[in-house]
Amino acid sequence: MGHRHEGPLLTAPAVRIAGALLLAVLAGCASLPPVAVRAPSSAFLDTRDTSLGRIAAASLSEAGRSESGFRLLPTGDFALDARLELARRAERSIDAQYYYVQRDSVGLQFLRELRNAAQRGVRVRLLVDDLYTAGGDELFHSLATIPNVEIRFFNPLPSRRASVSGRLLFSLHEFDRINHRMHNKLFIADNRMSISGGRNMANEYFMRSAHANFIDLDVLAAGPVVRELSGVFDGYWNSDYAYPATSVVSTAGDASHGPGRFDRLAIDIGPTLELKTIDPLNPVSVAAELSAGKISLTPAQASVLADSPAKVVRRDRGEHVSTVTRSVLEAFGEARGEIRIASPYFIPGQEGLTVLTGAIERGVRIRVMTNGFGATDEPLVHQRYSHYRREMLRAGLDLYELRPDPAHDAANLGNFGSSSARLHAKVAIIDSKTVFIGSMNLDPRSTWSNTEMGLLIESEKLAGQIKSVLRNDRNASLYRLRLASNGESIEWVATDSSGATRVIRDEPDSHWLLRLKTFLLQPFISEDLL
C-alpha cells in the first residue's frame, strides 16, 4: 500500500461517474447498515489518583494553574515507545483516534497493547477512519468483541471489500460523502497524558519500514489541555458519523471466539521495539521518565484546534472551511518577524498565497519546508504545488525541498538505513514563540475535505527545539530553491556535508515517465481534491 494515505481518493471525474453507473447496473449499490444504537460515553474525570495522574501532577509542579506541559517526540522509536508505555501504565481508560492503523508490526503491536490494557480492566475506545480498514474487518471485529474494548469506524464506506480499491469502487455512488475523511491523530491515557501530532500507526511513521520512512513530529502533553483533547475525542466518538465496528462488519465470523480469534489475527510479525537512536531533545525515553515518576515537560499556554466531525457532511464551502486551517492562517496574519512552516503536502491556494505574500510585504520572513519530487509519495500533489513555486519565490519566500536520500543532517531523526526519507511533520513556528503541531497539511484536502486537529502552543523553548530539529540553512538533506538569473527558471541548490554547493537546473530526483504521467493526469483533477 502507498505511504501517504492522505491524497485524492480518486482521479478523473469521468471514471468515477462511469464506474458508478456500471456498478449500479451490474452489481447493485452497497449501502451502510441501519444506524445502530450508540451508547454515549465520555472521558473519565476521576483519574487524579492513577499512576499517570500522580506522575502528571509531579511533572507539572512548576507550571501555572492554566498552563499545560509538553515534550516533543521527534524520533520514531521514542514516539512509539511513549505510546506503548502509556498504554501499559493506563489504569482507567485509553482513548485513541487515528486516520490509519496498518496491519504491520507497529499497528499490530499497538492493537495488542490495547487488548492487554482491556484485559487489566481498562476501558478502551478506539476510533478509526474507515478508508484504510479494508482487509482488516475481521481483525477489528475480533478486538471489539473483547470485554472493555469498543471500536468505532468514522464515516464508513458502504462496501466492505477486502481491498481499498475495491471498497472505493463499490462505494462510488456515495463519493461526495466518502471523500470526507477523519485525519485526526490522538492518543490519551487515563485522561492525564496525551500524544498528538502527525503520526499514524504504521511502520513507516516510526522508522521501521525498509522502503521509506517519515520525518515526523508528535507532542506529549499533560495538564488542562489533555481534558480539552478528551472533549474533542468525545465529540467525535458520540457523533452520528462514528459507527460501532460490530454493526458495520457483517462477515467477521463467530463473535464468541473473539479473544482467541484476535490472537491468531494479531500474531507478532516483527521484532520488538528497540530504542536505536538518541532523542535529540531529551536524554532518556518517556518510559524511563515514567519509571522515575516525573517527565521533563515544558510549561506553556496552549489552545486546542479541532474541526467539527460534522465537516464530513457539509456541502457549502463557506460552512465547512477547516477551523484548524483558518486558525493557523489567522496566526500567520499576526506574525511580525518570521514564519517557519513544515508541510509534506503544500498547496497554498490563492487564499493561503495571499496571506503569505501579505506577511512578506509587512517584512515577515517566511521559510517553507516540503517534500521534493523524489521524496513525495503523492506526485500529483507535488505537481499542483509546483504551479505556485515561481510566484512564491518572486514574492520573497524561502523554499526548501527534502531530498529522498537521507543525509547526515537527518541522522538525529532516526536511522534511515537504505530507506528513503519523506517529510510528514505538520508544524509551524511564528515569531519564534508560537508553535503549531497537528494533523493539518497546508493543502485543500485539509481545508475542505478532511477533519483535522492540532495544538497552538505559546513557547519560545519549544519553538527553538523544533528549529534545531527541522533546520533549513546549510542542511545537506534539503534543496534550497531560487530563481535563475532570467527570473523564470527555478534552480535547486544542494549543499553537501562539507558545506560545498552545487546548482541543479532540472527537477532533481524525478523520472521522465512519472513526470509524464502526472502531467497527463493533473488536468482531470480538481485542486480541491488534493
DSSP string for 68-134: EEEEEE-SHHHHHHHHHHHHHH-SSEEEEEES-B-SSHHHHHHHHHHHHHHHTT-EEEEEEESTT-T
Question: How much is the average pLDDT of 65-80?
Answer: 95
| Active-site residue, selected from the candidate residues 141, 180, 311, 424 | 424
Which pLDDT score is estimated for 18? 42
For residue 351, pLDDT beyond 60: yes
How many helical (H) and strand (E) elements, i.e. helices and strands, does the chain have?
Answer: 17, 22
Establish whether 46 is a catalytic residue: no
Q: How confident is the model at residue 12 (pLDDT cuts 50, 70, 90)?
A: very low
User: What confidence score (pLDDT) does residue 313 get?
Assistant: 83
Q: What is the mean pLDDT of residues 35-46?
A: 88
In the block, residue with C-alpha cell 522515575: 292
Q: How far apart are CA 163 and CA 149, in angstroms?
A: 25
State the DSSP string of 238-306: TSTTEEEHHHH------GGGHHHHHHHHT---SPPP---S--SS-SS-HHHHHHHT----EEEEEEEEE
Q: Which is catalytic among the residues 183, 311, 320, 382?
A: 183
Binned at pLDDT 50, 70 and 90, residue 168 comes out as confident
For 79-94, how does the pLDDT look when each residue is reduced to its tens digit (9 = 90+)? Answer: 999 999 999 999 999 9
175: exposed, middle or buried (Cβ count in 10 Å: 0-12, 13-18, 19+): middle
Q: Which of 185, 311, 320, 382 is catalytic?
A: 185
Residue-wise pLDDT for 232-242, tens only, equals 999 999 999 99
Q: What is the mean pLDDT of the chain?
A: 87
Q: What is the mean pLDDT of residues 64-80?
A: 95
* Confidence check: pLDDT of 21 > 60: no
Residue 334, judged by CB atoms within 10 A of its CB (0-12, 13-18, 19+), counts as exposed
Exposure string over 352-373, b if 16+ CB within 10 A, otherwise e: bbebbbebeeeebebbbbbbbb
pLDDT in tens, 256-291: 555 689 999 998 766 666 776 778 898 899 999 999
Query: Distance between CA 103 and CA 109 in Å, rounded?
Result: 9
What is the reported pLDDT for 319?
A: 55
Residue 473's pLDDT is 56
Residue with the larger pLDDT of the pair 373 and 519: 373
pTM score: 0.92
Share of the chain above pLDDT 70, in %: 83
Instruction: Compute the average pLDDT of residues 245-263.
Output: 73
Element (DSSP H or E) covering residue 54: helix 51-59
CA contacts within 13 A on the Cβ side of 121: 2
pLDDT tier at 323 (50, 70, 90 boundaries)?
Answer: confident
- Measured N-to-C along each axis, helices 379-395 and 349-361 cross at an angle, to the nearest 10 degrees, of 30
Q: From the candidates 405, 409, 431, 528, which is the catalytic residue?
A: 431
In the annotation, is 276 catalytic?
no
Higher pLDDT, 316 or 134: 134
CA gap 359, 294 in Å, rounded: 41
pLDDT of 476 reads: 74
Instruction: Compute the distance between CA of residue 189 and CA of residue 195 in angstroms, rounded to an integer.
Output: 9
Task: Assign 312 a pLDDT band (cuts: 50, 70, 90).
Answer: confident
Considering the candidates 95, 137, 190, 218, report the single residue annotated as catalytic.
190
Residue with cell 496566526: 331
316 is catalytic: no
Please tell me whether residue 13 adopts helix, strand or coil conformation: helix
Mean of pLDDT values over 489-504? 90
Tell me the mean pLDDT in the region 307-314: 88
Does the structure show a pLDDT above 80 at 472?
Answer: no
> Are the CB atoms for 369 and 342 separated by under 8 Å?
yes
* pLDDT of residue 397 exceeding 50: yes
Tell me 449's DSSP state.
Answer: I
Higher pLDDT, 2 or 530: 530
Looking at residue 495, its pLDDT comes to: 87
pLDDT of residue 235: 98
Q: d(Cα 321, Cα 108) in Å, to the nearest integer? A: 35
Which of 190, 179, 27, 16 shows the shortest CA–CA distance to 117?
190
What domains are defined for the chain? 50-292 (3.30.870.10), 307-529 (3.30.870.10)
Q: For residue 90, what pLDDT is reported?
A: 98
Helix axes 258-265, 137-144, angle to 10 degrees: 140
User: And the C-alpha cell for 521?
Assistant: 493526469
Inter-residue contact 213 to 207 (CB < 8 Å): yes
**Cα–Cα distance, 258 to 264 (Å, whole number):** 10
294 is catalytic: no
Mean pLDDT lowest for which of 75-89, 157-171, 308-322, 341-355?
Answer: 308-322
| pLDDT for res 528 | 61
* Confidence at 210, pLDDT banded by 50, 70, 90: confident
- Residue 482's pLDDT is 97
Pick the catalytic residue: 307, 426, 443, 509? 426
Q: Is the pLDDT of residue 22 over 80?
A: no
| Mean pLDDT, residues 423-444 taken together | 97
Looking at per-residue confidence, does 203 or 411 come out higher?
Answer: 203
Is the predicted pLDDT of residue 14 greater than 80, yes or no? no
Q: What is the pLDDT of residues 105-148, one digit of tens each?
A: 999 999 999 999 999 999 999 999 999 999 999 999 999 999 99
Mean pLDDT, rounded, for 492-510: 89
| 398, β-bridge pairs | 367
Confidence of residue 3 (pLDDT cuts 50, 70, 90): very low
**More confidently predicted of 147 and 1:** 147
* Confidence tier at 327 by pLDDT (50, 70, 90): very high
